[in-house]
Chain A
Amino acid sequence: IQLTQSPSSLSAFVGDRVTITCRASQGISSYLVWYQQEPGKPPKLLIYTASTLPGGVPSRFSGSGSGTDFTLTISSLQPEDFATYYCQQLHTYPYTFGQGTKLEIK
């Protein structure tokens, strides 16, 4: 299953609302996960089952979607949010990741 993220990169200001999309090549129900990765670090779990936030993840992050179209929204960007974001599907082997969206400070 191919996952296509858009945009590939994004520049925004602190305080902006941003949305990243992830489209699956076939339906994956809600088996969609979002990760945040800072340079030199492993990915950090951000959202699972498309819209569930693990404990400790700030509420400015939200996810939505099911089937083939998913979104990650950050309601008000903070300096620590500038990183690369990946979606991943765990519906079907082989697990696959989107190509990533690099979020940069404008």
Chain B
Amino acid sequence: QVQLQESGPGLVEPSQTLSLTCAVSGGSIRSDGYYWNWIRQHPGKGLEWIGNIYYSGHTNYNPSLNSRVTISVDTSKNQFSLNLNSVTAADTAVYFCARDHQHWYFDVWGRGTLVTVSS
């Protein structure tokens, strides 16, 4: 079955760019009808949707982060990525990637990766 795995630095300095990658295994990122999402969860808090991408490259972003977020896809590597620039301590969170089945539900999630913003 499809599995997702986040990877990237666990520590980012303030004002720098947070960069994470989500590797898709057990299936193709080019599958029709699936959007690929990033979600974050601040320590001890709820879930916040960051944005998603279709394999064609079409993206949707949360307006609360829109100006700082870029999500991209690399179909040759079967992965998608998140860049969040100008980070502050408020961006410290566990970042999850997840698969969205035709806007019905998120059925596959990565384990999540903790990113701490600190100097």
A43: which B residues are within 8 A, CB to CB? 47, 96, 106, 109
A42 lies within 8 A of B49 (CB): no
Of the candidate stretches B9-17, B25-33, B57-65, the one touching chain A is B57-65
Count how many chain B residues have C-beta atoms less than 8 Å from C-beta atoms of the other chain.
Answer: 22
Check B105 against A33 for contact (C-beta < 8 Å). yes
- Encoded as 1 (CB less than 8 Å from any A CB) or 0, chain B from 49 to 71 comes to 10000000000111110000000
Kindly state the separation between the CA atoms of A94 and B30 in the bound complex, as whole angstroms: 23
Cα(A76)–Cα(B92), bound, Å: 37
Asked if B109 contacts A42 (CB within 8 A), the reply is yes
Query: Please, which residues of chain B bring their CB within 8 A of the CB of A100?
Result: 46-47
B105 touches A45 (CB 8 A): yes
**Distance to closest chain B CB from A54 (angstroms):** 7
Does residue A77 face the partner (Cβ distance < 8 Å to B)? no
Assembled-state Cα–Cα distance A41/B46 (Å) = 13
In the complex, are the beta carbons of B110 and A42 less than 8 A apart?
yes
Chain B proximity of A83: nearest CB distance (Å): 14
Q: Is the CB of A54 within 8 A of B49?
A: no
Q: List 9 A-B contacts (CB under 8 A).
A: A42-B109, A42-B111, A43-B109, A45-B107, A90-B104, A94-B60, A94-B62, A96-B49, A100-B46
Q: Chain A: residues with CB nearer than 8 A to chain B?
A: 31, 33, 35, 41-45, 48-49, 54, 86, 88, 90, 93-100
